[in-house]
Structure 1
Amino acid sequence: MRDETGAIRDGRPGRRLTWPWFLVIVVVYAGIIQGLGLLTGVDTSSSDSAFPTTESLVRNALIPIGASIVFAAAVVTRLGWWGEVLHDRAPVRRWVRWVPASMLAVALLGLNYGHLGDQSVSLVACLLLLGLFVGVGEELMFRGIGVQVFRRAGLTEGKVALFSSLVFGLVHLSNAIGAGAQAILQALIVSTSGYFFYLCLRVGGVILLPMLVHGLWDTSLFSNLVGDEPQASAGMALIIVLQAVLIIVLLVRRRSIEPDAEKAPA
């Protein structure tokens, strides 16, 4: 039942958002990033680097992603969900703490420090800001709004994790237009990362932890792609290995993520 303000009266604060409308919001979110990228971006096709200059990083990434953060924040504000989006109250077993801990450690080890040392201060500063923007924007949309949408639909936590991660992966297909079958593989890999970030949310109890892990994880990946001559580091192998290990561990232990019923909060 709704009151005059449109808020739902099921004990949860804020307005109602069904999952089909969430998908519409995600399409708009992706459209903002892609559309602004086309409007403000600079052509880097002549370079092997994703971001050969500070200008290309700002115009091709920071401006579009910054706008998407404003959009996501406006959606949360309109829904009145800030309390539930910022704070998560679904605990997990202690072993799951190794997910964010290992991801943070490997992201720090995997940073291409040598390559970044050869870049300008402005480019490195903008790269760090890009990692922050990606972490804040994508977590706000998918582990913030997305998780709440599927929870309010009455799904189990397993399905909440699955569907929010799948949507997270699918939206990245827009970043790989023209990549063919490789785009599908990328979406699957990104979906698994989304599941890891979901677990970070559960472990930390606040959305700031997945924002931090996600931002640092992507910064580590991006550190190989900046400058005139992109250069992969040995640290990339650590990231790939950890991704594979976490997938295997979570496949084996997926049924032991939830806390014991008698220990779960009422």
Structure 2
Amino acid sequence: MNVKPNWQVAILVFVAYNLIVFATWYATGADYTTLSAANNIASHIVLPLLLGAIFLFVVLSFLGWWRPVMREETHGAPKWMMWVLLVIAAGFIGLNLASTNWSAITATHLLFLVAAGVLVGFNEEALTRGILIVGCRGSTNSEVFVWLFSSVLFGLMHLPNTLFGMPFAGGVAQVFFAATAGTGFYILRRASGTLLVPMAVHGLWDFATFSHGASGAPLNFSATPFQFAMYVVSIVLVVIVFRKREPART
């Protein structure tokens, strides 16, 4: 590694990434309520995320953190936890995709939706379950603090949505639910041993959400139980993980 992991560097990268995304939103006049619409998705989702992805790629290469960001080598969790979360996520993703009005989505729009899902999965996981975790682990031996640090900041990065059209109460709720979902992605990282799994789940989750909303389909209440199951089960699993003795740090 070119730079020793520490929380200060991680925070600087976190702040810089969010400045890139939200400055691009401001420059393009983004409205949170219509981000995934056909005439907005390229400039309001794909462009800021692409700029953010380039930034993260350069930063990770400069820091030399690619290996610890992408691989979980010292903090395992039982594999069954991964499969529990994958089944719940598959229920939410599958039901949303099944109820999407695909006839209302053009081929070009679909291409941008796929790009948005891939970029969200890579960017937000590389930043929060990658750089924040690696940086924080370089500054503390408390894995509980590492989990809280990464999950809370993941939630807070959604708060600026309230400046772009999301009601404040909804934004506060989104911060809480995102932090809770971040706990699930944290467990997926630990149980799978790689950041690729939470990247894939996160990307598919947002792709299904973006596509369903962009198609104009009515709210799919059948997917709601899976969404909230993800939140509740994630908290239960993280409590189970921390109640057990952690493996020695190497």
Summarize the Cα distance change of 1:128–1:103 in structure 2 as closer, same or farther, 3 Å threshold: farther
1:109 alignment partner in structure 2: 94
User: C-alpha root-mean-square deviation of aligned residues, in Å?
Assistant: 2.5
1:40-95 deviation digits (Å, cap 9, x = unpaired)? 356x69xx644331x31111100001110111111111111111112111211233
5 Å-filtered alignment, 1:2-21, equals 13-21=1-9
1:161 alignment partner in structure 2: 147
Query: 1:154 & 1:249 partners in 2: Cα distance?
Result: 24
Q: How many pairs align?
A: 246
1:70-122 deviation digits (Å, cap 9, x = unpaired)? 11111111111111112111211233223442244224323233434122122
Q: Does 1:231 align with 2:218?
A: yes
Query: 2:47 & 2:91 partners in 1: Cα distance?
Result: 28
Summarize the Cα distance change of 1:150–1:80 in structure 2 as closer, same or farther, 3 Å threshold: same
Which runs of at least 4 in structure 1 moved beyond 4 Å after TM superposition? 256-259
Consecutive unaligned residues of structure 2, counting only runs of 5 or more, are: none
Structure number with higher helix proportion: 2
Query: 1:32 & 1:98 partners in 2: Cα distance?
Result: 35
Query: 1:79 & 1:155 partners in 2: Cα distance?
Result: 21
1:193-229 deviation digits (Å, cap 9, x = unpaired)? 11111111112211111100111111222222214x3
> Does the Cα contact within 8 Å between 1:29 and 1:68 map onto a contact in 2?
yes
**What percent identity do the matched residue pairs reach?**
26
2:12 alignment partner in structure 1: 24
Q: 1:213 aligns with which of 191, 198, 201?
A: 201
User: 91-100 or 56-65, which moves further after superposition?
Assistant: 91-100
1:164-184 deviation digits (Å, cap 9, x = unpaired)? 111111111112226323322
> Does the Cα contact within 8 Å between 2:69 and 2:134 map onto a contact in 1?
yes
Query: 1:83 & 1:52 partners in 2: Cα distance?
Result: 36
Q: 1:172 aligns with which of 158, 174, 189?
A: 158
> Does the Cα contact within 8 Å between 2:187 and 2:234 map onto a contact in 1?
no
5 Å-filtered alignment, 1:55-66, equals 55-66=39-50
1:151 alignment partner in structure 2: 137
1:5 alignment partner in structure 2: none
What letter matches 2:229 in structure 1?
L
Query: 1:116 & 1:153 partners in 2: Cα distance?
Result: 48
1:105-149 deviation digits (Å, cap 9, x = unpaired)? 224323233434122122222212211110001111111111101
2:64 alignment partner in structure 1: 80
How far did 1:241 drift? 3.2
Consecutive unaligned residues of structure 1, counting only runs of 5 or more, are: 1-12
> Does the Cα contact within 8 Å between 2:181 and 2:234 map onto a contact in 1?
no
Summarize the Cα distance change of 1:187–1:113 in structure 2 as closer, same or farther, 3 Å threshold: same
> Could you say what secondary structure the match of 1:153 adopts?
coil
1:92 alignment partner in structure 2: 77
Flag the structure with more relative contact order, 1 or 2, with Cα contacts below 8 A and sequence separation at least 6. 2
Greater gyration radius: 1
> Does the Cα contact within 8 Å between 2:77 and 2:241 map onto a contact in 1?
no
Q: Does 1:39 align with 2:24?
A: no
TM-score normalized with structure 1 length? 0.82
How far did 1:244 drift? 4.1
Summarize the Cα distance change of 1:115–1:101 in structure 2 as closer, same or farther, 3 Å threshold: closer
